[in-house]
Structure 1
Amino acid sequence: SKVGKISKASKVPQSKIYGVLEELVQKQLVEVFDGRPKEFKAVLPKLAFKNLLQKKEEDLKILKSRIDFITKALKPLERDEDFFEGIWVQKNEKNWEVLNRFSEMLNNCEKYAFDITRDFSLTQPLKESIRKCVRNGVKMMSISTIKFDKENFYRVKWFYDNGLKIKVFETENHPRVLIIDGKEAAIRLENNFSKKNFYFQFVWSRNKSLVKLFDNYAKTLWKVAKPLNLSRFSP
């Protein structure tokens, strides 16, 4: 369509419509055809959505492949606890044991923390540690790997009401990850999820290279994740 026709249909002044259209072209939502005057055509919704996702996928591809490699490389432990250079691994049968480890980490947090989570599960010690961080001015950021529903509404609301910034990036089979000040990282892995001997594997590290990898991953994920608008959800 020509600019005049688009301006009339959209009720955007013709003096401003070119800027709007150019922005849409850059986002690959509109195609432009040379001519006098230029003509613009909306990209098919399916293709537009594909274009938007492509850039996000490219940003995450390298980091995510490294995370997948690390989690797959961590084999089930023969013992309940093991220690490698800069990495401590422990087998836990109860989720609260892992969450209380997260609480201990947050008690040492000074600047910022990333929590990548599916279920927003909490224990009382973890709640107290989160409140302490917020009181001390720590920037607390949570990234949900699933969309919100009635089952997790109140848990998410607790995080929201207590001053945490929350974004959403939907993905499957993602471990819970906590990063503290870019200096300390922990991962909760789920093993044998459908079996009776189900247990959690807790991996903690202050290894600079490994922590930096997770820290960069979390920062990239935060940039591409969508902000949460809790007012859109209801229990």
Structure 2
Amino acid sequence: MLERLKEEVCAANLELVARGVVIYTWGNVSGIDREKGLVVIKPSGVDYAGMCPDDMVIVDLVTGETVDGKWKPSSDTKTHLELYRQFSDIGGITHTHSVNAVAYAQAGVDIPALGTTHADYFYGVIPCTRELTKDEVEEDYELNTGKVIVETIKQRGIKPLAVPGIVVKNHGPFSWGKDANASVYHAVVMEKVAEMDIKTLLINPNASMQQYILDKHYMRKHGPNAYYGQNE
């Protein structure tokens, strides 16, 4: 069942380790089969060392029930499912506790767009959500984490694939993309631009980037007349 997707999601999880954005069991990646309404996700608390596709867990998009797998799914499963339910163009989701992105989450501050590296992948600031209320945490923490991400995206008028990531206040970064691999790529980029921003603002607290530079760099890769890279 969904063997290819399990292989892709497992490889995407291992890529987090290879890129140095997770340690121990701090992170998870999922991918979705929209046609079947099923999500493949990393198991909860299982070490990356020796992880294989058969360790992945399959859950139902609507009910959240485990359909197949020998382990319990990630504790963040409800967060992933809420994003998949709300945004049909998302095909993969990544969550990490990468140091620099978490610093912005703990500070409760957006990751600003200060340079072209950021602009190549995120069309504007990477937002930080509001703090969850005590009732939200106690009622259904993981589901409400997903809901506060959705709330932030909608309130800010963001297209999810144009700004494929967010930091949840006091928690950490979530990213997404057209598939699991793209979500990991965006997680790595988010961590790197967060690191660049911290260093930039230490040197110049008033650093900024003009909108026309952001527009140029984002559109040359993602716009209707994009010209970056090779023609396929």
TM-score (norm 1): 0.27
TM-score (norm 2): 0.27
- The structure whose residues are more often strand, as a share, is 1
